[in-house]
Amino acid sequence: MISQAQQHQKIQTYFQMWLNRDWSRLADLFTSNCVYEECYGPVYRNFAEIQQWINHQKQKQVVTAWPIHEFIDAGPTVIVTWTFAAREQTSYLFDGVSIIHFAADGRFDQVREFEAKHERRYPYENAETKKY
């Protein structure tokens, strides 16, 4: 098993691949049987499907920012909170969470993403509860 610091570094490397548009080290990060569930529904059931998805995305999408906000460690599983910004025909922005499980060899064998709206509103805020 790899250390938490190594887990964090691998996750950061993966996010940076999207910014740099360089996926040459992808096989260093994913097992051949990794399952990747995107936040809006698609599921890729192995490395070949993950590669096919990335090849499709790099033709239509440019990731402009993907900062990580927090790592929550749970042994071989790391929960990561982030904000994602990209451009296709229009630009978009949303917040998200990834639950990433590491195989014994230190590569991802399961990734599950969840999406949230980036805009926040406070429907019960009033002058007494408003944060400054």
What pLDDT digit, counting tens, does each position of 105-131 carry?
999 999 999 999 999 988 888 766 666
Q: Which residues contact 67 (CB under 8 A, 6 or more apart)?
A: 82, 83
- The tens digit of pLDDT for each residue in 57-76 reads 999 999 999 999 999 999 99
- The tens digit of pLDDT for each residue in 6-54 reads 999 999 999 999 999 999 999 999 999 999 999 999 999 999 999 999 9
Q: Which residues contact 86 (CB under 8 A, 6 or more apart)?
A: 61, 62, 63, 64, 92
pTM score, two decimals? 0.92
* Domains of the chain listed by start with CATH number: 4-117 (3.10.450.50)
